[in-house]
Structure 1
Amino acid sequence: MSAGGDGDAKAKIFNQREPLRQPRTSPPFADGAVSTTGDVTAAECKRQSNSQQNANTNSMSSPKERHEVDPVVKSSKLSANAPEFVPSGFNLYEEPTYDDSEEYYSEPTLAEMVTDFLGHLSSSPGSFESDVEYITGILNNGVTTEELLQELVELIYTQSTAIPNFSYTGARLCNYLSQHLTVSPPTGNFRQLLLKRCRTEYEQRDVAVRGDADTQKKFHSYVLFLGELYLHLEIKSGKGQPNRAEVLLGALKDLMNSLFSNPVDANLICAVKLLKLTGSVLDDTWKESNQPHMEELIQRIETILLDAQCSRDVRQMLLKLVELRSSDWGRVRTASASSNATPDNDPNYFMNEPTFYTEDGTPFTAADPGERCPLGLKQMFVCLFVFFFFFFSSFKTC
């Protein structure tokens, strides 16, 4: 081949090669160029700063150079500085604010404290003896004015007549506080204020027994609480034994007469409960003063049994009450002391004596007169004879 043909062939082969890649390192310097490491670094830093400056220039260019502005956006009156939009009826959450001057845990009020005490005694009546002293100590520290004492009396009275089956514990608490509560304003101490509060309900008795069901129920709770209060409230006088409040004795008689004046089932049931609770004490007290008040009440019950239109169950309750009173309220009188008992004054003197029989089979006891000593001697000789007989028999066997 000719030289021209060889050149064309080399040119075709060169053109068919892949394009050259960028070099991974800087291209070599031209011949005769003088360069140092510092010059190369400076050149690279200059090249980077020029590229960053060009980028910043492009970012700060006018929006018109980049794109056209939307007419709606251009005419909008919205602003990034506008206040926050809140729909109507939507409440924003507000952080709670605390006043450093107020304590986070406030002291319980007297009503809360007394309610907790009474609730505890109602659920655990057996802890009364162990807790009442502690409760009284706290009340002595908290109840120091006449207003607080009035509030305490009202709270105890309300709870004692409202909580079922709490009248007994409430009356015991009233008796303890009347003796150990130290506050005593000029208007009266705890016991005097309590009796004044009870008198308020007492004066409404004739209206309450003819009221609606709720009024009668409230009145009946008051009547039973007053009965418990009469049994437990003690009034000390001098060095003698404490006495019961005599003012409550007459009040109970009047309350029972009011209940019998309107002999509907609810009133009669309340009267029966009151007499079962206090009947024996009232009867003994009236007998000591020779007052026939209990006889009058029993006669009135018998009249109700004949005339009143009460239910069958209530009628049976009234009959059982009359029988209970005729048996001395179910009390069993103790027998004479053994030192004072004789065959003449105690019919049960020979009840536990053994019974013997004569030769013909006739029963013979120590109660038969004129035969006690002979019978005793005969039995003694028989026992001795049997004892010695078996003793000598066993001795001979050995």
Structure 2
Amino acid sequence: MDLGSHSTLKEHLQQTGISSGSQDKVSVPDSGPEMGEAQVTVAPVVTSKLSAKAPEFYPSGYNQNFSQNFTDSSFEDRYDGYLTLAEYVQDFLNHLTEQPGCFETEIAQFAETLNGWVAEDEALQELVELIYQQATSVPNFSYMGARLCNYLSHHLTISPQSGNFRQLLLQRCRTEYENRDEATKGEEITRKRFHAFVLFLAELYLNLEIKGTKGQVTRAEILQEGLRELLNALFSNPVDSNLICAVKLLKLTGSVLEDAWKEKGKNDMEEMIQRIENVVLDANCSRDVKHMLLKLVELRSSNWGRVHGTSPLTEATPENDPNYFMNEPTFYTPDGIPFTAADPDYQEKYQELLEREDLFPDYEENGTDLSGSGDPYFDDIDDEMDPEIEEAYEKFCIESEHKRKQ
């Protein structure tokens, strides 16, 4: 193509999508019989709809190292303008759902980013709604969601006229709370959504810390009263799903609620137990659910499985501390019979195990002999322990035994 004119070259470059600053990248042939002056040949350029702002692509099944996005100090710079607040928060919530162990290491960076991003009450309300939806729609996220809410309630700096993070969160929960009677009588999908809210509120009661005027840390008393009314609503409509939700709620918070009520001189838990007994006698619920209710009554009669009156660690003995053997290991005989430090012949059997060369006797699981599987990997393993490892292990056992007797 003959582009002798500078204006023609510029026009062609604009049509092909190459900026005028790219002229030095075009090729200029240095020979040709017809050329009286230098010709400029521009390689054809394929137009593309790809954007430099497009998110990174990862193949299906690729496990992206997602945690770096939230711990890298340049996260805001790299993603500024590419993610909305909702996308950023939802990505982090999904990350916590998949890797809950990252909470401690990444929550501070997350809160710091939000403090630089959430500057208006609309954004704060959006944040509350995103966390609420995740905590009530994703299985097993209610506990993590409650921990997240507690941290943000103490570390988010924005406090608009509409209310700070904790106040907006409680207002959001109140919306569901006020519909409790209708929800317990609603369709299955409505009850299921309501039950998820109940259990999230229970986790909030256990994890949301309120600082008093004197610096003391307490639980939100308003949630304590709310849980009592939610229990009343569940027992007032004693279908199976409502009763199962009530059992889960009491197993989770029963001991804490009863302690709090007793401190105020109230007998609310006695009333709840009486309602449960009436349901078992009168309600038209399934046998399995009635059995769950009876087991809950039994649990409460044993002080929710707690043991009080234990001695301090330095004074604890097997005679005065029922929890004395709690942290001791449990061993199993070759016949599969468990025995612990509470058994009279524990010391003898324990020493016998230490002296044996083979500490893990052959056994069969699902019909497969794990010690003689025929696998070359297992066959190549020497039965004898390395001398240095054996010496270190024996030293560890002796020190552990000495510390236990102290």
The TM tier, using the shorter chain, reads: 0.5 to 0.7
Report the counterpart of residue 260 of structure 2 in structure 1. 285
- Unpaired runs of at least 5, structure 2: 1-45, 56-80, 323-341, 345-406
Task: Provide closer, same or farther for how the CA distance between residues 109 and 286 of structure 1 changes in structure 2, counting only shifts above 3 A.
Answer: same
Aligned residues: 253
State, as a whole percentage, how many aligned pairs show the same letter: 61
- 1:225 is matched by which residue type in structure 2? F
**Structure 2 residue 216 is matched with structure 1 residue 241:** yes
Deviation at 1:337, TM superposition (A): 4.9
The correspondence for 1:202, drawn from 171, 177, 189, is 177
Any runs of at least 4 consecutive aligned residues in structure 1 with deviations exceeding 6 A, and if so which?
338-341
Report the counterpart of residue 119 of structure 1 in structure 2. 94
Q: Distance in 2 between matches of 1:326 and 1:189?
A: 41
**Structure 2 residue 294 is matched with structure 1 residue 306:** no
Q: Distance in 2 between matches of 1:243 and 1:335?
A: 25
Report the counterpart of residue 155 of structure 1 in structure 2. 130
Deviation at 1:324, TM superposition (A): 0.3
Task: Provide closer, same or farther for how the CA distance between residues 222 and 347 of structure 1 changes in structure 2, counting only shifts above 3 A.
Answer: closer
- Unpaired runs of at least 5, structure 1: 1-93, 355-398
Structure showing greater Rg: 1
Q: Answer yes or no: is the 8 Å Cα contact 2:311–2:321 preserved in 1.
A: no
Note the 1:1-398 alignment, pairs <5 A. 106-337=81-312
Q: Distance in 2 between matches of 1:247 and 1:230?
A: 9
Deviation at 1:104, TM superposition (A): 5.8
Task: Provide closer, same or farther for how the CA distance between residues 146 and 304 of structure 1 changes in structure 2, counting only shifts above 3 A.
Answer: same
Relative to the length of structure 2, the TM-score reads 0.59
Task: Provide closer, same or farther for how the CA distance between residues 329 and 180 of structure 1 changes in structure 2, counting only shifts above 3 A.
Answer: same
Q: Distance in 1 between matches of 2:236 and 2:48?
A: 62
Q: What's the Cα RMSD here? A: 2.7
Q: Secondary structure at the match of 1:235?
A: strand
Task: Provide closer, same or farther for how the CA distance between residues 339 and 194 of structure 1 changes in structure 2, counting only shifts above 3 A.
Answer: closer
Q: C-alpha offsets along residues 220-252 of structure 1, whole Å, 9 cap, x if unaligned? A: 000000000000001112343211101101100
- 2:151 is matched by which residue type in structure 1? Y
Q: C-alpha offsets along residues 257-304 of structure 1, whole Å, 9 cap, x if unaligned? A: 000001000000000000000000000000110111100000000000
- 1:273 is matched by which residue type in structure 2? K
Where relative contact order (Cα < 8 A, 6+ residues apart) is larger, the structure is 1
Task: Provide closer, same or farther for how the CA distance between residues 291 and 137 of structure 1 changes in structure 2, counting only shifts above 3 A.
Answer: same
Q: C-alpha offsets along residues 185-222 of structure 1, whole Å, 9 cap, x if unaligned? A: 01110000000000000000000000001000000000
Relative to the length of structure 1, the TM-score reads 0.60
Q: C-alpha offsets along residues 314-354 of structure 1, whole Å, 9 cap, x if unaligned? A: 1110000000000000001133459999xxxx799xxx9x9
Q: C-alpha offsets along residues 359-389 of structure 1, whole Å, 9 cap, x if unaligned? A: xxxxxxxxxxxxxxxxxxxxxxxxxxxxxxx
